[in-house]
C-alpha cells in the first residue's frame, strides 16, 4: 500500500482539488490511502473562531461564516449542481460545529480547541471524497478518530500505538482509494484530539507504519526538500536523497519541510518517504530513506527568525554549574520557552530561545533575582549542516555575529541585522 499526504496548500481551492484528481490519474490510486489536511488556511481561520469563542467576541458568528463561505465557494466551483449530496454533508458538519459552540460547557481551552479545529479536516476530506466519486473514482471515507487512538493531551496528543495498530490492521480495506483526515485522533472517551500543528505528515507515517506500507509520499508545491529556503537564499538546490538520520537532524534544527515526529516510525520499518511536487508528479523529488546521508552533498541552511538571545551570569562570580543549569531549564520548561542553542562558560550561560507564548517577561522577573540577565530580542539563528567557508560567509556577511558554535557537522550562528 502507498500512503499519500496532501497538505492544506494542495487543496486550497477547486483547482487544487482537481489537481489532486489528476495527480492520482498520473501516479495511480490502487491500494492508496490519502491523508488530507484542512483546506488552505482553514486551521488558522478556526483558531480565530476559537479565540472569538473564548473572548465572547461579537465577531464569533462572522468568523464561522468566513469558514463556511470559503468552503461553499469551493463546493460551487467543483460541483455547480447544488443538489449534489456533498452540499448537505458539509452543511451537516457546520451544523455540528455550531451546535458545539452553542452547547459546550467545558472551560478547558485545549479541549475546546481540538473539538473545533478538527472540523477543518473533517470537511476537507468530505469534499475530496465526494469529488473523487463525482469523477468516477470510488472511495472509502474513513473517520480517522476510529483509527488513531491517543491519550487526552489535547493539542499535543500521544498516540496509543497498540490500539491504533489493531484498529488499522482490522478495518482499513485495501484495493480501494481510502481517504482520511490528517492531524486528528481520539482519546479513550472518544473525544477528538489533535497531534500538534502541521501534524498531518505524522498521521501519514502512523498509517504507513501500521499498514507496513511500501512508501509515504508528501505532495507539495515545491519540487522536494531543498538545501535552503529559496525565499531567503539564492541558488537553493533540490536534495535527491536524505538518510533518516540526516532528516531527523535537519528537523531537529528546525527544518520545517518534514514534521519531526514523522520520521521515527518510518525509520523503524525503513519505509521510504518521498517529497514530491503536486505540479509535476512524475519528477522524482526527494527520497528520505536508508542510504547515503545527503545527495548531493551540500551545506543545508536552516533559519529561525525572531529568536531571543539570553545571557545569564552569576551575580557573585560563582560558577554556573549543574544545579543552576537544571534550575534554569526547569524554568524554561515551565514557561514553555523552547531552547534552540546553549553555550556556557565559567560564569556565564547563554541560550538562544523561542518565546512563542510571550512568557519571557514573567520568566525574567524570576531569573533576575538570582542572575544578571542580559538579553537581545529579535535575533536570527542560522544553522548550517555540513558547513564550509563559503556557507559560513553567506550567513555572517553584513550582519553582527552575537554568538557562534561549531561542531564537526554543524555550525550555528546567532546574528543581528546591522
Ligand atoms: N491542518 C493542520 C495544520 O494546519 C494540520 C496539518 O496541516 O498538518 O496545522
Ligand atoms: Mg497545513
Same domain, 53 and 158: yes
Residue 356, CB-side half-sphere exposure with 13 Å CA sphere: 7
Pairing status of strand 32-36 against strand 177-181: parallel
- Residues 310, 407 within the same domain: yes
CATH of residue 344's domain is 3.30.2130.10
Same domain, 211 and 316: no
Mutational pocket test of ligand 1: of 36, 38, 203, 221, the residue with most ligand atoms within 8 Å of the beta carbon: 38
Residue corresponding to grid cell 488558522: 44
Question: Do residue 106 and residue 211 come from a single domain?
Answer: yes
Mutate to test the pocket of ligand 1, among 4, 7, 16, 194 (most ligand atoms within 8 A of CB): 7
CATH number at residue 160: 3.40.1160.10
Is 399 within the bounds of a domain?
yes
Q: Among 199, 220, 241, which residue terminates a domain?
A: 220
By alpha-carbon position, which residue is closest to atom 8 of ligand 1? 198
The pLDDT value given to residue 260: 76
* Proximal ligand: closest to the CA of 202: 1
Task: Identify whether 263 is part of a domain.
Answer: no
pLDDT of residue 206: 98
Grid cell listed for 178:
481510502
Same domain, yes or no: 164 and 313: no
- Span from the CA of 39 to the centroid of ligand 2 (angstroms): 8
Indicate the residue among 177, 193, 220 that finishes a domain. 220
- How far away, in angstroms, is 43 Cα from ligand 1 center? 6
Q: Given this model, what pLDDT does residue 315 score?
A: 83
> DSSP code of 257?
S
Instruction: Order across the sheet with 410-417: list the strands.
Output: 338-344, 348-354, 300-314, 371-385, 410-417, 399-406
- 194 with 313, same domain: the answer is no
Q: How many angstroms separate the alpha carbon of residue 181 from the centre of ligand 1?
A: 10
Predicted local confidence at residue 81, as pLDDT: 80
Cβ pair 242, 286 in contact under 8 A: yes
Residue 230 covered by a domain? no
404, 412 in Cβ contact below 8 A?
A: yes
Residue at a domain's end among 181, 196, 220: 220
21 and 150, same structural domain?
A: yes
Considering the domain boundaries, does residue 214 fall inside one? yes
> What are phi and psi for residue 314, nearest 5 degrees?
-75, 145
Is the backbone peptide bond immediately before 68 cis, with ω within 30 degrees of 0?
A: no
Domain-embedded: residue 342: yes
Q: Is 93 inside any structural domain?
A: yes
How open is the CA angle 26-28-32, to the nearest 5 degrees? 140
CB within 8 Å of 364: residues ≥ 6 apart: 373, 375
Q: Are residues 161 and 16 in the same domain?
A: yes
Ligand 2 midpoint to CA 198 (Å):
5
User: By residue range, what is the domain housing residue 327?
Assistant: 300-417
List, in sequence order, every beta strand (DSSP E) within 315-390. Answer: 338-344, 348-354, 371-385
**pLDDT tens digits for the chain (418 residues)?**
999 999 999 999 999 999 999 999 999 999 999 999 999 999 999 999 999 999 999 999 999 999 999 999 999 999 988 889 999 999 999 999 999 999 999 999 999 999 999 999 999 999 999 999 999 999 999 999 999 999 999 999 999 999 999 999 998 988 889 999 999 999 999 999 999 999 999 999 999 999 999 999 999 999 999 999 888 888 899 999 999 999 999 988 888 777 778 999 999 999 999 999 999 999 999 999 999 999 999 999 999 999 999 999 988 877 777 788 889 999 999 999 999 999 988 778 899 999 988 999 999 999 999 899 999 999 999 999 999 999 999 999 999 999 999 999 999 999 998 8
Say yes or no: CB of residue 120 within 6 Å of ligand 1: yes
205 with 346, same domain?
no
212 and 319 inside one domain: no
**Residue 311 and residue 189 in one domain:** no
Question: Are 312 and 411 part of one and the same domain?
Answer: yes
Is residue 269 included in any domain, yes or no?
A: no
Total number of domains constituting the chain: 2
User: Is 285 a member of any domain?
Assistant: no
Amino acid at each position: 500500500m502507498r500512503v499519500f499526504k496532501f497538505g492544506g496548500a494542495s487543496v486550497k481551492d477547486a483547482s487544487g482539488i482537481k489537481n489532486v484528481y489528476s495527480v492520482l490519474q498520473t501516479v495511480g490510486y490502487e491500494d492508496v490511502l490519502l491523508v488530507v489536511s484542512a483546506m488552505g488556511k482553514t486551521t488558522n481561520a478556526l483558531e480565530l473562531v476559537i479565540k472569538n469563542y473564548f473572548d465572547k467576541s461579537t465577531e464569533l458568528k462572522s468568523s464561522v461564516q468566513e469558514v463556511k463561505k470559503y468552503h461553499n465557494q469551493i463546493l460551487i466551483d467543483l460541483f455547480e449542481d447544488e443538489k449534489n449530496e456533498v452540499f448537505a454533508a458539509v452543511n451537516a458538519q457546520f451544523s455540528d460545529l455550531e451546535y458545539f459552540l452553542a452547547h459546550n460547557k467545558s472551560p478547558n481551552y485545549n479541549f475546546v480547541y481540538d473539538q473545533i479545529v478538527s472540523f477543518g479536516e473533517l470537511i476537507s476530506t468530505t469534499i475530496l471524497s465526494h469529488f473523487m466519486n463525482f469523477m468516477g473514482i470510488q472511495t472509502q471515507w474513513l473517520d480517522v478518530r476510529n483509527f488513531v487512538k491517543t491519550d487526552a493531551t489535547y493539542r499535543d496528543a500521544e498516540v496509543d500505538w497498540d490500539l491504533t495498530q489493531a484498529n488499522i490492521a482490522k478495518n482499513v480495506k485495501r484495493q480501494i482509494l481510502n481517504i482520511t483526515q490528517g492531524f486528528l485522533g481520539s482519546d479513550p472517551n472518544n473525544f477528538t484530539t489533535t497531534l500538534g500543528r502541521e501534524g498531518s505528515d505524522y498521521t501519514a507515517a502512523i498509517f504507513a507504519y501500521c499498514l507496513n506500507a511500501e512508501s509515504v509520499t508528501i505532495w507539495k508545491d515545491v519540487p522536494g526538500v531543498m538545501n535552503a529556503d529559496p525565499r531567503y537564499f539564492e541558488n537553493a538546490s533540490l536534495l535527491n536523497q536524505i538518510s533518516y538520520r540526516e532528516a531527523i537532524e535537519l528537523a531537529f534544527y528546525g527544518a520545517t519541510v518534514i514534521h519531526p515526529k514523522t520520521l521515527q516510525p518510518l525509520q523503524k520499518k525503513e519505509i521510504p518517504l518521498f517529497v514530491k511536487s503536486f505540479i509535476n508528479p512524475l519528477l522524482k523529488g526527494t527520497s528520505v530513506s536508508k542510504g547515503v546521508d545527503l545527495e548531493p552533498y551540500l551545506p543545508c541552511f536552516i533559519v529561525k527568525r525572531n529568536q531571543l538571545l539570553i545571557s545569564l551570569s552569576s551575580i557573585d562570580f560563582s560558577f554556573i554549574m549543574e544545579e543552576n543549569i537544571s534550575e534554569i531549564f526547569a524554568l524554561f520548561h515551565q514557561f514553555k520557552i523552547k531552547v534552540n542553542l546553549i553555550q556556557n562558560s565559567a560564569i556565564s550561560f547563554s541560550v538562544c530561545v523561542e518565546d512563542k507564548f510571550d512568557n519571557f517577561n514573567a520568566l525574567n522577573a524570576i531569573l533576575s533575582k538570582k542572575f544578571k540577565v542580559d538579553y537581545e530580542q529579535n535575533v536570527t539563528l542560522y544553522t548550517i549542516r555540513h558547513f564550509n567557508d563559503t556557507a559560513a560567509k553567506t550567513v555572517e556577511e553584513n550582519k553582527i555575529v552575537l554568538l557562534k558554535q561549531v561542531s564537526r557537522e554543524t555550525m550555528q550562528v546567532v546574528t543581528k541585522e546591522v
